[in-house]
Structure 1
Amino acid sequence: MKKSLLIVALAISIVSCNKQTDVKEVKTAYVDTSKLLEEYTEAKDIEAKYKAKSDEMGRELEAEVNRFKSEAANFQKNAQANGQAWAQQKGAELQKREQQLSYAQQAMIQQLQQESGAEMDTLVKGVKKYIKEYGKKEGYAYIYGTGEAVSILYAEDKYDITKDIVKLLNDKYKSAPKTDDKTDVKADAKKEIEALESKK
């Protein structure tokens, strides 16, 4: 009796293994992250903001560099006429000023990199959060990222939702209240130059 029950149980398990089971299709998609950042209006605005800030601060610093070059040219002309003691003192002053200009340039670059990096990090975190919410809302099991940091090697074009995400993010960004960053750029540039002037 036990042997026949075992055979029946084995037969049932074989039959059930042969039946096709219904497998739920997993909904997946991918976003080209490089393209997303190229086409996302907020990312473009951040890039433009820091380019303008860099240009403004660069112009102010360039004016200081031009004044320095003019003084250095005059120094060479007047060195013999004013004597060796004057030339040594003036040469030391010019060398110190050249170092200050170099430090100011490095500080400006570092400041811009830190500020823009912080803003881009915030933007990327926001985009990731948005994609996560989008994925839940639209019923995706997975949304992959491609681009600079590739996380998949192949994806059919029909799974590319980059355009949808870009459009939704741009719509969301356009509807958000705006602030005027132009005054901030000029104020920051002015502060950098004042700091440079005070070091003279």
Structure 2
Amino acid sequence: MTKKGLVSLGTLALAFTTTLCLSSCGGNKAEQKSSPSTPAEVQATGLPIAFVNMDSVTSQYKFAQEIKASLEKDAAAHQTRLQSKGAAIQKAAVDFERRMRINAFVSAEAQQAEQQKLMRMQQEGQALSAELSEKLALKQQSLLEDMMKSVRDQLKEYNKDGRYKLILTKVGDNILYAEDALDITEDFIKYLNEHYNAADGLPSKADSASKK
């Protein structure tokens, strides 16, 4: 083969290599396209998945805020009742000890009767504490169930166009990893509060325990 022929083949090989390089580089550039950063972009990729951070919902949803305020109000009222009961028991105990010191009881039977009365007061105080704690716990459970029902019902309406096929609940660190674009919490909380009617919030049964 002549020198001229070798030069032509070399030129052809260089051009072919350059073409491959340009094609490859162009492909890599396409592959390096940034990941979707918004829910809308995620939907466009054909991955209809999202998640809602329930910690944010329970702190920012108006219904959840009302539940917290109601429970705190009941807890304060219960504490006032317990403190009043405790003060009465303390007063009776001090009076009993004083009468013991000065031998004010007319008989051993009278002293024993007074002591048993004091013991009953203490037992009543313990029973009241347990009763109020149970009522508060039951009310909390009932209201949280109402709130979760509200969240689920509103989520169905929020997603009535079917843009998401799977919506996960994020509580703490139960989701190991997820793109930020899958997080619809802020938008969903906005939807919740816009569609929340205070009149449909805390049911009347919610305050029944604190009135007893």
TM-score (norm 1): 0.72
CA drift at 1:178: 6.4
- For the pair 1:48 / 2:72, whether they are aligned, the reply is no
* SS of residue matched to 2:167: strand
Counterpart code for 1:43: A
In structure 2, the partner of 1:110 is 134
Between structure 1 and structure 2, the one with the greater Rg is 2
Q: Conserved in 1, the CA contact under 8 Å of 2:139 and 2:209?
A: no
Q: CA RMSD in A?
A: 2.5
Q: Distance in 2 between matches of 1:106 and 1:71?
A: 21
1:160 to 183, 188, 192: 183
Counterpart code for 2:199: P
Q: Which runs of 4+ in 1 moved over 3 A?
A: 178-182, 187-190
Counterpart code for 1:99: Q
* SS of residue matched to 2:116: helix
Structure 2: unaligned runs, 5 residues or longer: 1-44
Distance 1:114 1:157, change over 3 A: same
Q: Distance in 2 between matches of 1:170 and 1:93?
A: 53
In structure 2, the partner of 1:177 is 199
Structure 1 residues 101-153: Cα deviation after superposition (integer angstroms, max 9, x where no partner): 11011101101110121111111122122223323325112111111482x32
Structure 1: unaligned runs, 5 residues or longer: 1-23, 192-200
In structure 1, the partner of 2:125 is 101
TM-score (norm 2): 0.69
Q: Distance in 2 between matches of 1:181 and 1:146?
A: 27
Counterpart code for 2:104: A
- For the pair 1:60 / 2:81, whether they are aligned, the reply is yes
Aligned length: 164
Identity of aligned residues (%): 24
